[in-house]
Amino acid sequence: MTGSSRTLCWNCQSAVGGEYFCPQCVKVQPASVWSDYFSVFGLPRKLGLDLGELQQRFYEWSRKFHPDFFQRATPEEQAISLENSALVNTAYRALRDPIARVEYLIGLEEGAVKGIPPRAPRDLLEEMLEMQEALEEAKTSALDAETRKRLEGERERLAERRKAEEARLMEVAGEWDALVGASDHASRERDAVRRKLLDGMKEILAVRAYLTTVINDLSEALGEETHTHVSHRRH
Amino acid sequence: MSRIVGIDLGTTNSLVAYMEGEFPRVIPDAEGHVLLPSVVAFTADGILVGEAAKRQLVRNPTQTIYSVKRFMGKGYEDVKEERRYFPFQILADHEVVRIRVDEREVTPPEVSALILKALKERAATSLGEPVTKAVITVPAYFNDSQRQATKDAGRIAGLDVQRIVNEPTAASLAYGLHRLKQGIVAVYDLGGGTFDISILRVKDGIFEVLATNGNTHLGGDDFDRALVDWLLADIRAHHGAHLGQDLEAMQELRLGAEAAKCRLSFEDRTVFTIPFPQHGFTYRREIQRSDVEALIEPLVQHTLGPCRLALADAGLGAEQIDEVVLVGGSTRVPLVKRRVQELFGKPPHSQLNPDEVVALGAAVQADILAGGITNMLLLDVTPLSLGIETLGGVMSVLIPRNTTIPTSAKELFTTSVDGQTVVDMHVLQGERELAKDNRSLARFELRGIDPMPAGMPRIEVTFLIDANGILQVHAKELRTGKAASIEVRPSYGLTDGEVEQMIEESFVHAEEDIASRLLIETRNEADTVVRATERALGQGSGLIAEDEATRIQEALAALKAVSDGDDREAIREATERLNHATLHLAEVLMDSALKAALASKRVTEALEKTE
In three-state form (DSSP H/G/I as H, E/B as E, the rest C), the secondary structure along B321-357 is CCEEEEECHHHHCHHHHHHHHHHHCCCCECCCCCCCH
Residue in A with minimal Cα distance to B306: A225
A92 and A126 within one domain: no
A180 and A129 within one domain: yes
Statement: residue B598 has pLDDT above 70: no
pLDDT at B423: 87
CATH number, residue B345: 3.30.420.40
Instruction: Please state, rounded to an integer, the average pLDDT across all residues of chain B.
Output: 88
B119 and B11 within one domain: yes
Collapse the DSSP code of B187 into the 3-class scheme (helix H, G, I; strand E, B; otherwise coil) and give the result. Answer: strand
Q: A85 in contact with B at a CB cutoff of 8 Å?
A: yes
In a domain, A103, yes or no: no
Go through chain B and tell me how many residues it has: 611
Residue in A with minimal Cα distance to B408: A86
B566 and B469 within one domain: no
How far is B597 from B30, CA to CA, in rounded Å? 35
A132 and A66 within one domain: no
Among A166, A235, A164, A232, smallest CA distance to A201 is for A166
In a domain, B238, yes or no: no
CB B197 within 8 Å of CB B189: yes
Judged by CB atoms closer than 8 Å, whether chains meet at B385 and A229 is answered as: yes
CA dihedral B78, B84, B89, B94 (to 10 degrees): 20
Go through chain A and tell me how many residues it has: 235
A149 and A207 within one domain: yes
How far is A130 from A48, CA to CA, in rounded Å? 38
Among B190, B251, B244, smallest CA distance to B217 is for B190
In a domain, A33, yes or no: yes
How far is A179 from A108, CA to CA, in rounded Å? 16
From edge to edge, which strands make up the β-sheet containing B206-215? Answer: B323-327, B183-190, B195-203, B206-215, B377-379
Q: What's the sign of the alpha-carbon dihedral B157, B163, B164, B168?
A: negative
pLDDT at B593: 67
B565 and B426 within one domain: no
B170 and B41 within one domain: yes
How far is B357 from B363, CA to CA, in rounded Å? 10
A187 and A140 within one domain: yes
Tens of pLDDT along B136-157? Answer: 999 999 999 999 999 999 999 9
Tens of pLDDT along B107-120? Answer: 999 999 999 999 99
Task: Read off the pLDDT of each residue in B308-326 and give the average, rounded to a whole number.
Answer: 94
- Smallest CA–CA distance, residue B105 to chain A, in Å, is 36
Considering B29, B152, B189, B221, which one is annotated as catalytic? B189
In a domain, A108, yes or no: no
- Smallest CA–CA distance, residue B433 to chain A, in Å, is 7
In a domain, A232, yes or no: no
The domain boundary, picked from A96, A130, A163, lies at A96
- Smallest CA–CA distance, residue B313 to chain A, in Å, is 7
CA dihedral A218, A219, A223, A224 (to 10 degrees): 180
Q: B319 in contact with A at a CB cutoff of 8 Å?
A: no
DSSP readout, B131-145? --EEEEEE-TT--HH
Residues of chain A with pLDDT under 50: 1-5, 228-235
B8 is catalytic: yes
pLDDT at B103: 79
Collapse the DSSP code of B287 into the 3-class scheme (helix H, G, I; strand E, B; otherwise coil) and give the result. Answer: strand
- Smallest CA–CA distance, residue B375 to chain A, in Å, is 9
Residues from chain A contacting residue B397 (CB–CB below 8 Å): 229-230
CB B244 within 8 Å of CB B87: no
CB B410 within 8 Å of CB B461: yes
Which phi and psi (to 5°) does residue B61 adopt?
-60, -35
Count the Cβ atoms, other than its own, within 10 Å of residue A7: 15
In a domain, B336, yes or no: yes
Quick one: DSSP state of residue B451? P
Tens of pLDDT along B53-108? Answer: 998 888 888 999 999 999 999 988 888 888 888 889 998 777 789 999 887 889 99
pLDDT at B204: 87
CB pairs under 8 A between A and B: 84
Statement: residue B180 has pLDDT above 90: no
In a domain, B214, yes or no: yes
Q: Which residues contact B455 (CB under 8 A, 6 or more apart)?
A: B414, B415, B416
A46 and A84 within one domain: yes
Q: B402 in contact with A at a CB cutoff of 8 Å?
A: yes
Task: Read off the pLDDT of each residue in B518-530 and give the average, rounded to a whole number.
Answer: 81
Judged by CB atoms closer than 8 Å, whether chains meet at B204 and A59 is answered as: yes
pLDDT at A234: 37
Q: How many domains does chain A have?
A: 2
B456 and B518 within one domain: no
Judged by CB atoms closer than 8 Å, whether chains meet at A228 and B431 is answered as: yes
In a domain, B288, yes or no: no
DSSP readout, B28-86? P-TTS---EE-EEEEETTEEEETHHHHTHHHHSGGGEEE-GGGGTT-BHHHHGGGGGG-
- Which ranges constitute the DSSP H helices of B179-316? 220-239, 247-263, 289-314
Q: What's the sign of the alpha-carbon dihedral B579, B584, B587, B592?
A: negative
How far is A61 from B365, CA to CA, in rounded Å? 19
Collapse the DSSP code of B264 into the 3-class scheme (helix H, G, I; strand E, B; otherwise coil) and give the result. Answer: coil
B157 and B45 within one domain: yes
Q: How far is CA B386 from the centre of its chain?
A: 25
In a domain, B239, yes or no: no
Test the A interface: residue of B164, B197, B206 with most A CBs within 10 Å:
B206
How far is B587 from B585, CA to CA, in rounded Å? 5
In a domain, B278, yes or no: no
B418 and B339 within one domain: no
Residues from chain A contacting residue B1 (CB–CB below 8 Å): 72
In a domain, A151, yes or no: yes
How far is B366 from B196, CA to CA, in rounded Å? 22
Which phi and psi (to 5°) does residue A127 adopt?
-60, -40
A193 and A145 within one domain: yes
CATH number, residue A14: 1.10.287.110
CB B399 within 8 Å of CB B386: yes
| pLDDT top residue among B134 and B375 | B134
A126 and A216 within one domain: yes
Helices B514-540 and B583-599: crossing angle, nearest 10°? 50
Among B364, B406, B206, B211, smallest CA distance to A66 is for B406
Q: How confident is the model at residue B182 (pLDDT cuts 50, 70, 90)?
A: confident
Range of the domain at A35: 1-96
B189 is catalytic: yes
How far is B191 from B279, CA to CA, in rounded Å? 34
CATH number, residue B534: 1.20.1270.10
B174 and B123 within one domain: yes
3-state helix, strand, coil in chain A (%, to 5): 65, 0, 35
CB B181 within 8 Å of CB B369: no
B137 and B201 within one domain: yes
The domain boundary, picked from B344, B379, B414, lies at B379
Instruction: Please state, rounded to an integer, the average pLDDT across all residues of chain A.
Output: 82
Q: Which residues contact B89 (CB under 8 A, 6 or more apart)?
A: B62, B99, B100
Residues from chain B contacting residue A89 (CB–CB below 8 Å): 379, 403-407
ipTM above 0.90, yes or no: no
A75 and A150 within one domain: no
B208 is catalytic: no
CB B380 within 8 Å of CB B169: yes
pLDDT at B509: 55
Share above pLDDT 90 across residues of chain B, in percent, rounded to a whole number: 53
In a domain, A115, yes or no: no
How far is B281 from B552, CA to CA, in rounded Å? 20
Judged by CB atoms closer than 8 Å, whether chains meet at A230 and B397 is answered as: yes
In a domain, B367, yes or no: yes
The domain boundary, picked from B353, B379, B405, lies at B379
The domain boundary, picked from B326, B356, B379, lies at B379
B375 and B392 within one domain: no
Q: How confident is the model at residue B468 (pLDDT cuts 50, 70, 90)?
A: very high
Statement: residue B382 has pLDDT above 80: yes
Test the B interface: residue of A55, A71, A80, A93 with most B CBs within 10 Å:
A71
In a domain, A141, yes or no: yes
B368 and B416 within one domain: no
Q: A233 in contact with B at a CB cutoff of 8 Å?
A: yes
In a domain, A54, yes or no: yes
Q: How many domains does chain B have?
A: 3
B76 and B148 within one domain: yes
In a domain, B270, yes or no: no
Range of the domain at B463: 384-506
Tens of pLDDT along B249-264? Answer: 898 999 999 999 999 9
- Smallest CA–CA distance, residue A90 to chain B, in Å, is 6
